[in-house]
Structure 1
């Protein structure tokens, strides 16, 4: 079975950025996995301590992934404490070899949030290590990804210009249902996440001449503007 991996710095990032795309591919028979480098627990609400909120976010991630037709993996690294080192790169590369994704979706390289910027660097380096036979990663055979794509996040918009518009009209209601699993999306007083991403999907849909769309930026630097599907893949 072909697979897709969505990698976010925190539980919730991958879902808000590419959850509708993920559901579209799940409906087409792909195995979809959301990989979270941290739970994103430091933004705990007043009624929860950080560890309790971490466990809540992991549960929310699992519920959201199931709604979108996928599964969730949350690593043990701590929110706002990510570092770029060989340990985490090899950890992610091992997951790439185990999951064997056709392509990966992750953050754009420029972000106001340090964890987001580090996440995409970790993904890019893990992409290389997963493909090279010289790295022994739990005895798993090398796996070379076809592409790494960057997805749209309100905190990562510096220089983000979409290359690809994906028609997610048939998946958008399910996407909104998945977003509603997250406490921070529905209750944040600092940013209206739910309203923003519903409006973003509508706006991108207008530009793509469809009802709803999500966008991607091609990490290869190729300016491939394709409405409705990802180049090289069936939908």
Structure 2
């Protein structure tokens, strides 16, 4: 794990839990720090049970915020909500972009985790990734106004989408999350509006754990998360 905190850019309130909760918990446990930026609460597109219960928009947003806060606390992560709205997530919003740039500069992440580049089932996910990648570029620019200094070039990794084969997701990094999987499961169980995904992502972590062992990992690995690197790795040796 790189020195310094990890920053996770999540389109909706629960995305970071399913897809990068294990890495967030690892970073927190090892003292590097984990920070989550939720661009929206997922109030329109990922809160069907709440709408069916008769909740209002503000009640849905409040419920999803509370769930995400509880999940972040379970993981040991800090969380920021930008409340940009979902379905659709805005593509070009100067205020949203600036808020994301300022957060990246404030956190100074050692790594940034984002959504997949494509998702035919949810346009908010690749849009969130585009925003994160552009914000990283702006956070490197000397002339961009900010009270925080510019950042360097932290590596960016895409976390696994719900249907990877449909999203062009080909993992090239498998992270062992066995030691913190109980924490990730506890965080997942905070997301009551999407209870149907608890077991799905538990089974996915098990499958990725099997693959991690098959690809040379320690035989003690039971759970893993999959990631796809965006930029080339710089190294002195191939490993």
Question: What range is the shorter-chain TM-score in?
Answer: 0.7 to 0.9
Q: Distance in 1 between matches of 2:78 and 2:153?
A: 19
Taking structure 2 as the reference length, the TM-score comes to 0.86
The answer for the alignment partner of 1:32 in structure 2 is: 34
State the 1:113 CA deviation: 0.6
The answer for the alignment partner of 2:192 in structure 1 is: 183
Query: How many residue pairs are counted as aligned between the two chains?
Result: 219
Taking structure 1 as the reference length, the TM-score comes to 0.88
> Structure 1 pair 145/221, CA: closer, same or farther in 2 (3 Å)?
closer
The answer for the alignment partner of 1:170 in structure 2 is: 179
Q: Distance in 2 between matches of 1:80 and 1:37?
A: 12
Root-mean-square deviation (Å): 1.9
The answer for the alignment partner of 1:18 in structure 2 is: 20
The gaps in structure 1 that reach 5 residues or longer are 187-191, 225-230
Q: Distance in 1 between matches of 2:194 and 2:32?
A: 26
Q: Distance in 1 between matches of 2:163 and 2:64?
A: 19
Which has the larger strand fraction? Answer: 1
State the 1:67 CA deviation: 0.6
State the 1:83 CA deviation: 1.8
The gaps in structure 2 that reach 5 residues or longer are 214-220
Q: Distance in 1 between matches of 2:90 and 2:73?
A: 29
1:8-55 deviation digits (Å, cap 9, x = unpaired): 100010111010111011111011111100000113422222210101
Three-state SS of the structure 2 residue aligned to 1:76 is coil
Q: Distance in 1 between matches of 2:4 and 2:231?
A: 21
| Kept after mapping to 2: 8 A contact 1:101/1:145 | no
The answer for the alignment partner of 1:189 in structure 2 is: none
The answer for the alignment partner of 2:218 in structure 1 is: none
